[in-house]
Structure formats: structure tokens, C-alpha cells
């Protein structure tokens, strides 16, 4: 199910100079903010939770997920170069699975690693806050990558739809409409973080069991449907 050649090509596409600069901008900003906050206010658990929850999990992770998930396949479909890949003797679910693994790896590196660094800067992992938010970033990376890879497979406007979900649905509606939080990858990942950290510094509107089930369901269903849509693409002369 994992093809090294497809993986290498996908890594090359995602980590090209331009896209790598975009991927690295938000993590760098998070670390700069963390250094400034620590210098101005000292080590404070609540402040650390606010910065990591409000910026890292709510903004940085989903945006990186959009870039990595849609970028793993969207450009190939848009410019038509995907036909060369589909012409190879590869099972199309294997193509999707390989691209998903690459998107997850890239999202984790550019989101979970800086989240951990920022947490250590902010309060030295007091009350397990840095570790909890890092784990939240890891599990969110998986679901976001699958979801946005699916969007890249079914739509030419995947980046726009991804940003609408991440920044409008999760950030705006999630803060105004309590029921919308149930359908939020952010809230599912925070449920996991709450379990790791304990206490009241990290909260979620979704229970842990429900969150885990939804994370798994979204990842599996999005991957399956992306494979189905890719399988439905026909090459010239293929019947």
C-alpha cells in the first residue's frame, strides 16, 4: 500500500522552496510569539495553554494541514499530470495511502514539533501542557491530512474549502455555536489533550471516547472516499 516512488515525488512537491517557506512561516511565528510572551510575562501555565490552544491548535495546525493535504495531490489533478501517475501499474488506493502518509508526516513535523518547542519555552511543560498540546497536534494532523487530501481529490478549490472549514467553521462557528464544536477536529484533538494533561487548563466540548471514534471515522472514511474518487478517474482509452 505504500509506494516509495510516489512518496518521493510527493515529498518533493510539498517541500519545494516556495511551499516549504509557507509551511515554515506559522511555526516560526509561534516560536517568536512564545519567546516574546515568556520574556514579558514569565512562565505561566494559563498563558501557555492560551497561546498553544488559541494559535497552535486553532490556527497553525489546520492551515498546515490544508497546505500539506491538498498539496499532496491537488496540483497534480489541476495540471493533469496525475494521468502519468495513474498510467503506472499502481493500485489507486495505494497512491492515496502513500500520499496520505506523506501529508501526515509533513503536517506533524511542521505542527507538532514547533508546538512542543513553544510549550517548553512558555512554561517548561508545566502540568504536561506542552506534551498534551503536542499530542493534540499529532492526532489532529492525521485527521486534517485525510480530510484535506479528500478535498484535494474532489475539488479544484480545495484550498479555499479547507480554509473555510478551518478558519470559518472551526474558529468562527465553533466559538459561537456550541453544537458546531462537535463536528470539529480541533475539539476532538483537545479532548485527547485534556486526557493527557488533566485539570481544567485544557477543555473540550467532546468526550474522549466520542472524539477518538470521530477521529478514526473521519480519517478512514476520507481516505476510502478519496481512493474511490481517484479510481473513478479514467485515462484516455481506459474502459
pLDDT at residue 233, as a whole number: 67
The four Cα atoms 128, 134, 138, 143 give a dihedral, to 10 degrees, of 90
Helix and strand totals (H; E) in the chain: 12, 0
Question: Strand, helix or coil at 55?
Answer: helix
Sequence-distant (6+) residues with CB within 8 A of 227 are: 92, 93, 96, 97
pLDDT at residue 236, as a whole number: 40
pLDDT beneath 50, residues of the chain: 235-239
User: Ramachandran region of residue 124, left (φ > 0), alpha (ψ -120 to 50) or beta?
Assistant: left
pLDDT at residue 20, as a whole number: 86
pLDDT at residue 239, as a whole number: 39
pLDDT at residue 49, as a whole number: 93
Give me Rg for the CA atoms of the chain.
18
Amino acid at each position: 500500500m505504500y509506494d516509495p516512488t510516489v512518496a518521493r515525488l510527493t515529498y518533493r512537491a510539498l517541500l519545494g522552496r516556495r511551499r516549504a517557506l509557507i509551511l515554515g512561516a506559522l511555526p516560526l511565528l509561534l516560536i517568536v510569539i512564545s519567546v516574546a510572551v515568556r520574556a514579558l510575562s514569565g512562565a505561566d501555565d494559563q498563558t501557555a495553554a492560551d497561546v498553544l490552544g488559541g494559535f497552535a491548535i486553532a490556527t497553525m495546525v489546520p492551515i498546515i494541514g490544508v497546505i500539506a493535504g491538498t498539496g499532496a495531490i491537488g496540483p497534480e489533478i489541476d495540471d493533469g499530470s496525475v494521468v502519468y501517475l495513474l498510467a503506472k501499474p499502481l493500485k489507486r488506493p495505494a497512491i492515496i495511502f502513500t500520499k496520505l502518509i506523506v501529508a501526515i508526516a509533513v503536517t506533524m513535523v511542521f505542527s507538532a514539533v514547533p508546538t512542543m518547542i513553544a510549550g517548553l519555552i512558555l512554561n517548561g511543560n508545566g502540568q504536561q501542557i506542552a506534551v498534551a498540546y503536542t499530542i493534540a497536534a499529532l492526532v489532529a494532523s492525521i485527521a486534517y491530512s485525510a480530510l484535506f487530501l479528500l478535498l484535494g481529490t474532489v475539488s479544484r478549490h480545495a484550498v479555499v474549502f479547507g480554509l473555510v472549514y478551518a478558519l470559518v467553521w472551526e474558529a468562527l462557528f465553533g466559538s459561537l455555536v456550541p453544537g458546531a464544536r462537535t463536528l470539529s477536529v480541533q475539539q476532538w484533538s483537545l479532548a485527547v489533550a485534556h486526557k493527557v494533561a488533566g485539570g481544567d487548563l485544557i477543555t473540550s466540548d467532546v468526550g474522549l471516547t466520542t472524539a477518538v471514534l470521530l477521529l478514526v471515522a473521519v480519517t478512514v472514511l476520507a481516505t476510502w472516499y478519496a481512493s474511490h474518487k481517484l479510481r473513478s478517474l479514467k485515462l484516455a482509452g481506459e474502459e
